[in-house]
Chain A
Amino acid sequence: MDAQDSPVLSASNVDLHYGSVHILQGISIDIGALPRAIIGRNGMGKTSLCRAIMGLLPLSGGNINLNGVAIDHRAPDWRARHGLAYVPQGRRVFPTLTVDEHFRIMQRGKNQQWTRERIYDIFPRLAERRSNFGNRLSGGEQQMLAIGRALMMDPRLLILDEPTEGLAPVIVDHVVEILQQLSTEGIAILLVEQNLSVAAELADELSIMVNGQIIDHIPSSQLLHDETMQRRYLGISLDGH
Chain B
Amino acid sequence: MTLFFVVTLNGLSLAALYFIAASGFSLVFGVMRVVNMAHGSLILLGAYVAFDIAEWSGSWVLGALAGSLAAALAGVLLQVLFFNRMAGSKDQQTLVSIAVSIIAADLMLAHWGGLTYQLNLPSLLEGSIGLPLLGVNYAKIRIVLIVAAIAVGVGLWLLIAKTNLGRLIRAGVDDQEMLHALGFNVKGLFIAVFALGGALAGFAGVVAATALSVAPGTDVQFLLAALIVVIVGGMGSIGGAAIGAILVGLSEQYGLVYAPTYGIVFTFIIMIGVLGLRPQGLFGRGDVG
A: residues with CB less than 8 A from B are: 54-56, 75-77, 80-81, 85-86, 88, 92, 94-97, 101, 104-106, 134, 149-150, 153
Question: In the complex, are the beta carbons of B183 and A94 less than 8 A apart?
Answer: no
Chain A's nearest CB lies how many Å from the CB of B30? Answer: 11
Which residues, 150 to 169 on B, are CB-close (under 8 Å) to A? 164, 167-168
Which of the residues B167, B180, B181, B185 comes within 8 Å of A105, measured between beta carbons?
Answer: B167
Summed over the interface, the residue pairs from A and B with CB atoms below 8 Å come to a total of 58
Question: In the complex, are the beta carbons of A94 and B170 less than 8 A apart?
Answer: yes
Question: In the complex, are the beta carbons of B175 and A94 less than 8 A apart?
Answer: yes
Which of the residues B164, B174, B184 comes within 8 Å of A96, measured between beta carbons?
Answer: B174
Question: In the complex, are the beta carbons of A77 and B183 less than 8 A apart?
Answer: yes
The answer for the CA separation of A147 and B183 in the assembled complex, in Å, is 15
Residue in A77, A86, A101, A104 with the greatest tally of chain B CB atoms within 10 Å? A77
Question: In the complex, are the beta carbons of A149 and B182 less than 8 A apart?
Answer: yes
Residues of A near B184 (CB, < 8 A) are: 77, 80, 105
A77-B186, A105-B164, A105-B167 are contacts. A88–B174 as well, Cβ < 8 Å? no
Which of the residues B167, B171, B173, B181 comes within 8 Å of A56, measured between beta carbons?
Answer: B181
Q: Which 8 A-B pairs have the closest CB atoms?
A: A80-B183, A94-B174, A81-B183, A94-B171, A96-B170, A76-B180, A92-B178, A76-B181
Residues of A near B186 (CB, < 8 A) are: 77
Chain B's nearest CB lies how many Å from the CB of A221? Answer: 34
Question: In the complex, are the beta carbons of B180 and A104 less than 8 A apart?
Answer: no
Q: Can you offer 14 A-B residue contacts whose CB atoms are under 8 A? A: A76-B177, A77-B182, A77-B185, A80-B180, A85-B182, A86-B182, A94-B171, A94-B178, A96-B170, A96-B171, A97-B167, A105-B171, A105-B184, A150-B182
Chain B's nearest CB lies how many Å from the CB of A60? Answer: 19
Residues of B near A56 (CB, < 8 A) are: 177, 180-181
Residues of B near A55 (CB, < 8 A) are: 181
The answer for the CA separation of A104 and B181 in the assembled complex, in Å, is 16
**Given pairs A77-B180, A80-B181, A105-B168, 6 additional interface contacts (CB within 8 A):** A76-B181, A77-B182, A85-B182, A92-B178, A94-B178, A96-B171
The answer for the CA separation of A92 and B175 in the assembled complex, in Å, is 8
Residues of B near A104 (CB, < 8 A) are: 164, 167
